[in-house]
Structure 1
Amino acid sequence: MLSIGEFSKICEVSTKTLRYYDEIGLINPDEINPENGYRYYSIRQLKKMLFINRLKSYHFSLEEIKAILELEEDESEEKLCSALNLKRREIQKKLNAFEYTLKQMSNDILNLEKGIPIMSYLYDIEVQLVETQPMNILYIRRMMSSDDYAAGYGKYFNRIYKKIATEKLTLLGTPMTIYHSSEYNPAGNDTEFAIPIEEPVKGTRDLPGGLCAKSVLKGSYPELTSVYTKLREWIENEGYELVKSPYEVYVTDPNQVTVPEELITEVYFPVKKK
């Protein structure tokens, strides 16, 4: 048996952390002396602790690790493989985002060295006035916090696609998001996830057509704030005003692109002349 100190030293995990792991049921000491409360771990638990550390290094949360440890033996390898593949995709997306940021920073540095203002890229964002056609959309409307968005997009669009497939509905366009809140609130924003279809079934509504200021983003989603800024500036300068909620149309599937530059998003601001 190993004392908690010896176990801590071998695995390079503090005794405070080991006590916390015991509290949440991640890894419990094999033996606790009833007289003095000293904790002891068995040699075989070293392997388990190394496994926990390995999953932590792969950015699994403690909750995710605990769920993996609780898997039945006959399903553990298959589900572990699935979990690792999913986590690898998550990390790859983050790497792509960092690479995109580094490229953006490098371009900004080059421009500044040439005397070009850092925000001059806004001049390259084009805005056009278009007339959109009415659409029948299958939708889900929810209050979404800023923390919910990443998972929410996949969750609700997948639910809509499942209904389309189950009921054999006719797809007429790509996914879109309509933002109904009048201001940004990290705690919750009125968000509508929708996909245009042909059939007017339960769960659909009409999205009216009309005059829109439109811009297209080719790049990472965080850049959408720049597009929104340009659109609002254009609307003000051209004597228009916003009349309905703005919406985004996702021309490309983020799961099918390899680099952020391949993402194409159309942004529409319904407007009228003042």
Structure 2
Amino acid sequence: MAERELFQIGEVAKMYHLSVGTLRHYEQVGLLKPEYTDPATGYRYYSVRQFEQLTNIRYLRALGLPLDEIAATLHDRDVDNIAEALRRQKELIARKKQELEIMERKIDHRLAQLEDARRSELDCIRLVEQPALRLVLLRDSVKFNSYLWLERSIRKIEQDQKLPLSYIGKVGVGISGENLKSAEFGHYDLVFLVLEEDDVYEGRVETLPPCRCAAVRFRGDHSRAPQYYEQLAQFLAANGLQIAGFSREITLIDNCISDDPAQYVTEIRIPVARG
């Protein structure tokens, strides 16, 4: 062969803005073998006629096709084959796009929650309208004793789930209405996970209707909650309100978000009705 018909691997890599390692990988998977390998030096050379094949590979890779599909289309070159491969890739991109849009909505929701928590008016009891909630509700008795206190309950919630669930800022605890009325604020009867619109849960999901709640936010975590339940009880009595369900207590900013306890914000909501 004439010398000018062959190009060293480094030259080809430079021409196509690829790494030498990428070309070696193409060779290893049987996608593009060098035209000639010098038996004495091991140097690899590519011919001009291989440039078209490399152009096709780079084009299909830019469309996101995996190497095995590219190899199949190049080894059996046919209009129907390449069209089918492109259709499959388009369907995959559509699914990924939908997944990314869901992730974007989750991030927006979490950012809004964090900003709302940082702007909180603390130690002020007020009446708020609670929208309908989709919950995974676990009736489980738990007591605050360390930062790992909820791990056992969370493991129960996520058991048998096919898709990973997001917990940060969405796991809460509650005290039953009966125990609230008895002023038993020392332990929790319920653990719940708030589900967003796009969340998929393989198990029982409960939807709570909209309701009015007495709510308070305070600096700190669940360990400080009992004194605020006392204040809420006094507020309800002073305003002729009755407890109408279990409490919903969530730490909006906790040790998953910040190492500084001075930034923690916890909220308690108690459904109420007129006496």
TM-score, length basis structure 1:
0.46
TM-score, length basis structure 2:
0.45
